[in-house]
Structure 1
Amino acid sequence: MVYGGKPSTGCHLCRKRKIKCDEGRPGCRNCGVYGRPCPGYRPDAVFRNETRKTERLVRKDVSSSSSDSDSQHTTTPSSPTDPGVIDIRRGNRTQEHSLTTIQIADSTWEHRALCYFFDQYTISAEFEDGMSHLEYVPNLYARALELNDRDWKASSSCLRYAVDATSLMTFANISNAPQFAMKARQGYGKALRNLRDALAEPSTAVQDDTFAAVVLLSLYEDISGERNGLYSSHTAGFEFLMKIRGEGQLESQMGRDMFNFAFTHTFVEILALGDKPRYDIDWVLSFLDSNDPIERLMLAASKISSLMSAINSSSKPPDQATVESWISFGRECDFELSQWTLHLTERWLPLVVYSSQGDELLTYNRISNAVVWNYYRAARIMLQQLLLNLNRSLLAIVKKKDKRGASSSIQSPLNEDSLRAIIQEITTDVCRSIPFSLGDVDTLGRSIRTTDGNWTIRAAQGNGLLWPMWYILSCGMPTPEQVSQIRTVFSRVGSKLGIKLALTLDREAERIRGGSGATEAPESATELRVGSR
């Protein structure tokens, strides 16, 4: 027996089941979801067996667990060489992590998938300086499980199916087990049918369970990579539910968290894909708190959508005065966005550090802060591109007037070289933050090398990197080296965290760029067409 270093600090049951414990006090929530009381935690000083028998015992446990599941007519891998079982000898971090989920024989495959999903996608505000992610889902799910047939509600049922489907799809992707993906798609279909029933009744449509189910179903699309192109099929559902739930949804922290998730989801499509809001956005903005850094950023970025909406709704080619007014409004938007950084507390500000190789990096107090900063940078790049296009359109109008003999002496109100310089500077800052955002370095820029090869970021954090990176890659002006850095993010998030949306965005960005790797951005969707008059 040898001292094995710092032991796991999880509770006894989580350690027995080989899952990550959230170490809540007095008991962890995994035990509550599992349906057992938390047995508590062990003392600091422990010893453990480090013999070479461990690997053989793990493989034996996986094999026996598969046999037991087969005898119960469940679809599971049957041997360590089956595609659904991860060999402990492989070095991949995600595979090792999934092995710890697979190997325990005292729970079903579905429950292992559920625990892995909760570990990777639910983040407590307590550990992220108030920025939680789906923290409310485990409690809602546990409550839904307690309902019997007499208390059955469509909203609770669709939530259960949505959570189960999303966790199974997550598990299928990280363990390369297509049989779980098939079960996940079946659960997704059941969740959609129950969601329709829940939305049909006003009393259940406004329930938290219903809203949470749509949140999970939208996440399922990202994990499975089964969006309709780059558009989510649940955006309209979010818009409908935000409206009918009204101001009352913000009275609880859970309601506000769901609202922020839905608003961000819909806004990504409005900004990144040039879509138009299908609802009155002003009443939504009135709910946002300007004292909160994230909600203040939402308020500032929302003005970009107002400008895009005005441009896209124009039924005829704009005249000079109209384009000039759009440019003026765009410059006001950019000023307000730039002010966002000036009102952040110290814990939000990036830190300039240097790697062991001497590279200048940006790090943050939390990875979640880096995610928010990248959304800010993507919004500013988007606005600079919009101003570039407006400026080109204005110059084209003036040129046409000159050809017709009209007296029009106007100088461009914008310096295009300055706009491009801002885009390139912001793109550089994004790339300097990538090593920290991927968990490769700590706050001081020191390389992180875990003894077990595990990746230090959660899937929820990796998912948050995708849309800003996609816009910067497809519509910004990255250098070839920066293109390679950003594509590495998509590759790692897609392969190691099992979020297939990353691979879809990578392919779409390359399609937009034409595979040329050019440093000049392609024409924007908001490029104005100046027609003859």
Structure 2
Amino acid sequence: MVFCGKPSKACAECRAKRTKCNEAKPACGQCVRAGRQCSGYRDQVALMFKDQNNKLSGHSHSSPIKSPHSPRRSRKASQQSSFVDSQGLQLELSFAPSLEEQAASYVFHNYVSEDNEKTPSKGFFDYLPALYRRSQTGSILADAVTALGLVGIANSTRDSTFLNKAVLKYAATARAVSDRLGVVELAKQDDILISVLLLGLFETNASDRPRSMASWLEHIKGSLSLLKLRGDQQLETNIGRRAFVQLRSFIMTTCIVRRVAPPPEILDWTMRAMQYESIDQAASSAISFSVARFSELRSNLADPQYTYDLHSIVNDALEIDQQFHEWTLNVPSSFLRTSVVIPVPDEEVFGDYYDLYQDVFTAGVWNSVRSIRIMLHEILIEHIVKLCSSPEYITPNCEILSLYRAQIRTSKIMIDTLTHEICASVPFYLNYHRRDLGNFGKRPQPKAVAGYLLMWPLYTAAVAGRVSAQMRRWIARTLEEYWRCDGHEACLCSGFGCRCEEGSGTRTRSAERGRRVGGVYERICRGWL
């Protein structure tokens, strides 16, 4: 069996005519509008793997070469042929992929980054294959991979059988992890930490309720406890460092969402790990300190008992933004992006250009910086407005008043620029640049990790105060089509639901109440209605 990637989910009629199929049941919208009979949809799991048994069987049953040997020789050849037939049957049975093999193929194809010279390691599960090869069938790590892979296949194929098996595997693995946590030496092992991360990803994929994102946050908190238990020793191995780097990004994002300051140990370990990192890896790690400052500022603003001076908030926000700006000016060449102007408008591209990056993980670092800078400039606008309207801080003739007003204009321009740059990264994630124009725009299916990395930046852009209704509709449509096509409505709903519950804090604007695009647009609007 050979893994062939994700096949088209369209019906036969839409595939033949190269039209977009909405996969409606019992018949797709294109067929209904055209008045033709819809043939239905193919078995996705069967198509993901290329069956080579017939080819092997053909080799086994190839016509024998004529020979002038005696009948006794022919009987021996006949016996050998019967043996081959029997072996062919055994081969056919043994080559059928097990659930574990299908699940592992899905995880490695969709979540593991390419680790080669052209694509430097960015720490997103690129260490998983090595760990998986060392693990035994039925081990905690292998079961965690199986659970995540099965729920991914269930989402892609919309097959409840896979989902039920995934849930059972998840429950058994979670119990096994819980038992290991009671023994310190076992809890410090790499496979336990990675299993907790994989189970957290399972949570975001398996449920469409806001609670699933809350469960993901709990997994991250549990992983942080494991990091503290593992201590400095975890940085002594390559896998330990890679796992830490990946978990650090999760922890930082979680702290921003929950409006809490990051643990000081994270920055200490970052400093220790940077001595082992390449230039590209160090560039990603360098922004962690600015992210921590922003997270601490956001935490203070959310604390009702925290007393602060408006001038200090503005100055702190400006300093942090300047740090991010300097980072953008000093990134290594591998982080630079290339802009591609499109000759004619395309609904998959917002505006007239899109950006290309070395890999989706580099694009993810850029989008994380952009998302934080958007929130920083919203903080600046909010508190400068308070300053300018408060007599105790400023007078109408105050010279600083004109400077603050200029900063408001600058911040609005920056928000507009940053949101457009986030949108310009989307076509790269979705393989728009790899489409075959000679084959009706056919392209490789985006990996599941692409949608995962896009969710927070796109949502941050969509709820920014200065974003146009046109951009919101485009973001909503892009997310809706991607997750519905890929079967990741759960990831979409749970992620957006959590962010909406967190709220924007200061946004009180009314959203456009006209024509809306699907449920995603409504979920986006709910953030400030």
User: Which TM-score applies when normalising by structure 2?
Assistant: 0.70
Matching residue's letter, 2:391: K
Q: In structure 2, what is the equivalent of residue 36 of structure 1?
A: none
CA RMSD, Structure 1 to Structure 2 (Å) = 3.7
Q: Does residue 419 in structure 1 map to residue 411 in structure 2? A: yes
Aligned to 1:328: 315
**Rounded Cα–Cα distance in structure 2 between residues aligned with 1:142 and 1:102:** 23
Change (3 A) 1:213 1:339: same
How far 1:523 sits from its partner (Å)?
13
| 1:490-529 correspondence to structure 2 within 5 Å | 490-499=479-488, 500-506=490-496, 516-517=511-512
Shift in Å, 1:229: 6.0
Distance 1:323 1:196 in 2: 46
Moved more, 105-114 or 200-209: 105-114
Measured against aligned partners, the alpha-carbon deviations of 1:425-469 in whole angstroms (never above 9, x if no partner) come to 111122222222211124xxx766767955442112221111111
Aligned to 1:352, the other structure's residue is in SS state: strand
Q: Distance in 2 between matches of 1:422 and 1:274?
A: 23
Change (3 A) 1:146 1:330: same
- Equivalent residue in structure 1 for 2:454, among 437, 444, 465: 465
Deviation at 1:96, TM superposition (A): 5.3
3-state SS of paired residue (1:356): coil
Aligned to 1:18: 2
Pairing 1:210-249 to 2, within 5 Å after superposition: 210-225=192-207, 228=211, 230-231=213-214, 232-249=217-234
Amino acid in the other structure paired with 1:271: I
Correspondent of 1:350 among 337, 340, 345 = 337
Q: CA deviation at 1:507?
A: 5.7
1:99 correspondence with 2:47: yes
Rounded Cα–Cα distance in structure 1 between residues aligned with 2:287 and 2:161: 42
Partner of 1:438: 430
Aligned counterparts, 1:346-385, within 5 A: 346-357=333-344, 359-385=352-378
Separation (CA, whole Å) in 1 of partners of 2:264 and 2:439? 47
Q: Summarize the Cα distance change of 1:114–1:355 in structure 2 as closer, same or farther, 3 Å threshold.
A: same
Give 1:510 deviation, angstroms.
7.5
The 3 A distance-change label for structure 1 pair 269 and 440 is same
- The match for 1:268 among 253, 263, 268 is 253
Write the distance in 1 (CA, Å) between the matches of 2:315 and 2:393.
21
**Counterpart for residue 295 of structure 2:** 305
What CA distance in whole angstroms lies between the structure 2 residues aligned with 1:373 and 1:160? 32
**Paired letter, 2:320:** C
Number of matched pairs: 424
Q: Which amino acid aligns with 2:511?
A: S
**Larger Rg, first or second structure (1 or 2):** 2
Structure 1 equivalent of residue 305 of structure 2: 315
Bigger mean CA offset, 97-106 vs 109-118: 97-106
CA-CA distance at 1:102 after TM superposition: 8.9
Contact 2:255/2:295 (8 A) holds in 1: yes
The change in CA–CA distance for 1:456 and 1:168 in structure 2 (over 3 A counts) is closer
Give yes or no for contact 2:339–2:353 (8 Å, CA) kept in 1: yes
Whether the 8 Å CA contact 2:115–2:121 is kept in 1: the answer is yes
Give the aligned residue type for 1:486. Answer: I
Question: In 2, Cα distance between the equivalents of 1:326 and 1:352?
Answer: 35
- Residue 124 of structure 2 corresponds to 133
- Greater share of residues in helix: 2
State yes or no: 1:123 paired with 2:113. yes
Q: What's the secondary structure of 1:228's corresponding residue?
A: helix
Trace 1:65-80 onto structure 2 (pairs within 5 A). Answer: none
> Quick one: which amino acid aligns to residue 235 of structure 1?
I
8 A contact 1:381–1:476 mirrored in 2 = no
- Is the alpha carbon distance of 1:141 and 1:510 closer, same or farther for their aligned partners in structure 2, counting shifts above 3 Å? same
Does the aligned pair in 1 maintain the 2:310–2:383 contact within 8 Å?
yes
Q: What is the CA-CA distance between 1:307 and the residue it aligns to?
A: 1.4
Task: Provide the secondary structure at the position in 2 that maps to 1:441.
Answer: helix
Residue ranges of structure 2 left out of the alignment (5+ in a row) = 6-11, 13-25, 27-37, 53-92, 346-351, 514-523
Change (3 A) 1:255 1:378: same
Deviation at 1:400, TM superposition (A): 5.7
1:286 Cα offset (Å): 3.0
